Structure 1
Amino acid sequence: MSDLLQVRNLVKRFESGGGWLGGQKQIVRAVNDVSFSVARGQSLGLVGESGCGKSTVARTLLRLIEPDEGSIVFDGQDIRQASAQAMRALRRRIQIVFQDPYASLNPRRTVRQALAEPLYVHKMGNARQIAEKVDQAISEVGLPLSALDRYPHEFSGGQRQRIGIARALVLDPELIVADEPVSALDVSVQAQILQLMERLKRDRGLSFVFVSHDLGVVRHFCDTVCVMYLGRIIEHGPTGQVLDHPLHPYSRVLRDSSPVPDPEARIRLARIEGEIPAPTHLPPGCTFHPRCARAEANCAQQVPPLNVLAAGRSAACFYPLLEEAALAG
């Protein structure tokens, strides 16, 4: 299966402090040498604690935030090197669904106007063809045609997110970047939206980059997963294997900290100490070593590379949990 998206050595830094308030400028390393790929028709999850850089990665893929270093290759074309005209064409093929369905829709535009606008911008048909495309998109996400002439404030959160998905679909994209698309919704509505996205992935052959902090959602939707910590990917592999048998100590902590909907379940939490370091003052070596029970002297001196440790499994750790991963076969 060929890769639709290839990201290599992606870096994004932000400046903090300084300005008219004074103080010393500091560099926030939001994304620090991130690499991954997404196959056609597959979904890749980016998970980690708040502030780990996963949403920044998502936005750099569409150049909503300009990366500082690295390459983003979509279907053989380097997005970072694309001209404004080429980028406009690429954005027809790559769309984003934002986290907050209350903020991502213009309150002064009807749903019909919101869905038709990108079609007019990209000159995708005459008025009749655009109207048909809008009708098709709103029906595909499970809303009636009568919704088209209403305004965003007239809908619930789940309905607004369906509208956001419909807006992403009207251009017939090949890749959708979903940035926490269900985190602001009730659990029952989350399930409906995930089922909708799963159906769209199957019927349209869509690829997804799916950002989430909810491991249950990622387990349900994503084929592969990347675990991020302080701007780096520290583990990658098939979702079920990574969540059931993590290789990196942080992945285990993240897994054990996720609630399990089973009153009979008893989980022994992995030991973890200390606080997350500030992104302006990252520790040397492995950034997780100050909180890791398995850390040795070399962990504080060298950055562990993301090495392949088994078929389809990679981890950036000098002392991975091989004895706990049960990697037979």
Structure 2
Amino acid sequence: MSTLLQVRNLIKRFESGGGWLSGPKQIVRAVNDVSFDVARGQSIGLVGESGCGKSTVARTLLRLIEPDSGSITFDGADLRQASAGDLRRLRQRIQIIFQDPFASLNPRRTVRQALSEPLRVHHLGNAQEIAAKISRTVDEVGLPQSALDRYPHEFSGGQRQRIGIARALVLDPELIVADEPVSALDVSVQAQILQLLERLKTERRLSFVFVSHDLGVVRHFCDEVCVMYLGRIIESGPTRRVLDGPLHPYSRVLRDCSPVPDPAARIKLSRITGEVPAPTNLPPGCPYHPRCARMQAECREKLPELASLAPDRRAACFFPLND
């Protein structure tokens, strides 16, 4: 498969404090040297604890947040160097589904207005063509035609997320960045939305960057997964191989903490101690070493690189697991 998105050495830092009451200025290292590729028709999952930087990575891909350094290449075009006009045209091919299906929709606009606006902005058809496109799209996401003239508050959470998906699809994108698209929904509704996304992925041959903290969702939907910790990717590879046989100790802890819906399944939980270090004061060496049971002197002194440890598997660990 050909590469659609290529991310290299992405870095994003935020300033915190510096005011009269907030103390000295501090630098929050949200994303530290992140690199990955997305092939056409492939779905890549970004997983990790809250605050690990996965949503920041997702938003920098569309330049909703400007990265400090690194490169983002979409189908040969450098997104960081793109002019305003070029970026607008490229965004037609890259869309995002937000986590909160209510906050991401304008409460003063009907579904028809919300879906027609992207088409008008990009000058994609006359009024009749836009109306036909919107009608086909709401059918595709499983909404009735009567939904077009209603407002977001009149829908359930799952229906609102279908509207958000329709808004992303209406421009016929090639890549969708999904920022925890099912985390705010009930479990039964999650399954319906995942089935919808899976069908759209197959029928439209869409590529996904899928952000989630739910490993069960990632296992079901994503071809490959990148595990993040304190702004870094610490392990990557095919989803099932990473989750069934993690190489990095943190990946194993993350896997063991994920609920298993099988009463007969018994998992020996990995032990973890300590708190996540502050992103304003990262420890020297491996950022995970203060919590790692396998920590040795080298872990405190050197930062492990994300290296190939097995076919299609990479991990940033001096003493990887042998699962």
Give the alignment of 1:1-329 within 5 angstroms.
1-321=1-321, 323-324=322-323
Give 1:65's aligned amino acid: I
SS in 2 for 1:275: coil
Report the identity percentage: 80
Give 1:267's aligned amino acid: I
Rounded Cα–Cα distance in structure 1 between residues aligned with 2:20 and 2:219: 46
**How much does 1:270 deviate?**
1.0
SS in 1 for 2:50: coil
The 3 A distance-change label for structure 1 pair 262 and 99 is same
SS in 1 for 2:72: strand
TM-score normalised by the chain length of structure 2: 0.99
Rounded Cα–Cα distance in structure 2 between residues aligned with 1:27 and 1:158: 38
Rounded Cα–Cα distance in structure 1 between residues aligned with 2:275 and 2:35: 26
The 3 A distance-change label for structure 1 pair 20 and 130 is farther
Rounded Cα–Cα distance in structure 2 between residues aligned with 1:154 and 1:204: 29
Rounded Cα–Cα distance in structure 2 between residues aligned with 1:115 and 1:99: 18
Rounded Cα–Cα distance in structure 1 between residues aligned with 2:156 and 2:22: 44
Cα offsets for 1:212-257 (capped at 9, x unmatched) = 0000000000000000000000000000000000000000000000
Rounded Cα–Cα distance in structure 1 between residues aligned with 2:301 and 2:27: 21
Rounded Cα–Cα distance in structure 2 between residues aligned with 1:136 and 1:214: 31
Give 1:239's aligned amino acid: T
Moved more, 165-174 or 256-265: 256-265
1:327 corresponds in structure 2 to none
Rounded Cα–Cα distance in structure 1 between residues aligned with 2:215 and 2:87: 33
Rounded Cα–Cα distance in structure 1 between residues aligned with 2:20 and 2:137: 47
**How much does 1:20 deviate?**
4.6
**How much does 1:19 deviate?**
2.7
SS in 2 for 1:71: strand
SS in 2 for 1:282: coil
SS in 1 for 2:63: coil
Measured on the aligned residues, the alpha-carbon RMSD in Å equals: 0.6
Give 1:28's aligned amino acid: V
Give 1:229's aligned amino acid: Y
Rounded Cα–Cα distance in structure 2 between residues aligned with 1:316 and 1:79: 28
Rounded Cα–Cα distance in structure 2 between residues aligned with 1:105 and 1:91: 18
Give 4+ residue runs of structure 1 displaced > 4 Å after superposition: none
SS in 1 for 2:37: strand
**How much does 1:22 deviate?**
4.5
TM-score normalised by the chain length of structure 1: 0.97
Give 1:260's aligned amino acid: V
SS in 2 for 1:271: coil
Cα offsets for 1:244-295 (capped at 9, x unmatched) = 0000000000000000001122211112110000000000110000100111
**How much does 1:178 deviate?**
0.1
SS in 2 for 1:21: coil
**How much does 1:192 deviate?**
0.3
Give 1:106's aligned amino acid: N
**How much does 1:153 deviate?**
0.3
**How much does 1:21 deviate?**
3.0
